[in-house]
Structure 1
Amino acid sequence: MANDDPNTDATAVPYGTPQAPRIAVRGEAHLEAEPELARIGITVSARGTDRRTALASLTQRNAGVLDLVKTYGEAVERLETGAFSITPEFTKHGRGERIRTYHGSVHITAELTDFTALGELTTHLADLDLTRVDGPWWSLRPTSPVHATARRQAVHEAVQRAREYADALGTTLAALVELADIGAEGPGGPFGHTMTRSAVMPTSAAYGAGLDDTPAGLDLEPERQHVHAAVNARFTLHPPTL
């Protein structure tokens, strides 16, 4: 005896049947939002005729930069020290290997939530000796509600699209069979991935300038973030009359 229940037949085979036809659709959402975070990279450099002099100079400059960033308090959400190096530079001429000078560098990453403070900080940093500033790179927090909104909109679009196809056949949806993030079952980016374009500030280095003479803070315009979410959905339909 044939089973006329479309849901039962839908689970029996991985494809549609005349009693339980399947429909597969894709739902997408594209949103724009103001960034929540801005990250800058700071490279502090120093040099000296011997290793100890270079290291002492680098230690002093690094401490000065860290102290400066920390004066911005809660505006700085994250402050991390990355790569550190002391490298000898050899003379290009003469017999044998002779060290001409030592170069030291340390890389610092700062993440801020206050973009007015960001403009002031980058200006102060760029006015320091042998200091390079890169960025800012704008982003949303991984827990930003914008991601959840995009995911919901993608699901709603998938359901709406499936209903439109069912309506064109003169029938209605019977059941949801599968809902999957794009890339969840294979290679690809994370669902709801935030796509950002980096705005890189030119390398800045000033010599002999003090904070009292620092020019007005940079007026940085936050870059709007583009959030994309996508899902694949499969439904069973009540058998249409064709």
Structure 2
Amino acid sequence: MSKRNALITGGARGIGAATAKALAADGLRVFINYVNSASVAAELAQEIQAAGGEAYTIQADVRDKTQIQAMFDSIANEHGGVDVLVSNANMNFTPKPFMEQTWDEFSQKLNDEMHAAYQTAKVAAESMKQKQYGRLVFISSTLSEVPAPSFIAHGSAKGALDSFSKYLAQELGPYGITSNIVAPGLVETDATKDAPEEFKEMIRMHTPTQKIATPDDVANTVRYLVSEASGHITGTYQPVCGGAYIQ
């Protein structure tokens, strides 16, 4: 069987980078999507290649429909289309309480989050349907289920993403395409390195495993959900938080 092609949006850093390395180690051809982190993405691709994997960088802003289409066309023309999509691109948001937030601030996060997921999944599914095979994984957050102060825009957007994935699972299942959510809790990444140590310690103390997640913890969950072995798992919400959130 020829190599599967895996596209990781926001793949240059943190969870995306760990996922790219994990999938490459499992024998997938990985495409590391980035917007501005060209040198970081290139270094990651070189690291993967030095370890015996196959990796390419590909620039596109997943908030832009034209750039999304061009990215997928490039992969299709050169390597036969996307088999695995890991929707991981981080969308900024305005952290404010509801009573202090404007609709524009709230809707910006919702629109960016869902446009990126919707448009990349739509183009990916077109290729996957032809192949009668596909894996869609969306990186969400336990904040979609467990509210935290000033995270209403982020949590609500991720909640919409969770519901969206269930609908894709239902509609695309007959074509051999699965769709699942991976929902990290607090993860040690560049984005969280400046969080107060007191906050991190509070999270750790309330986590049954007594540790804060690493990007590898999340990547290891993704690697199973995109594997050949996971074909009968779809429509799920997989928290990766050491039991801090238990359904």
Give the TM-score taking structure 1 as reference length. 0.25
* Higher percent of residues as helix: 2
* Structure with more contact order per residue of length (Cα contacts < 8 Å, sep ≥ 6): 1
* Higher percent of residues as strand: 1
Give the TM-score taking structure 2 as reference length. 0.25
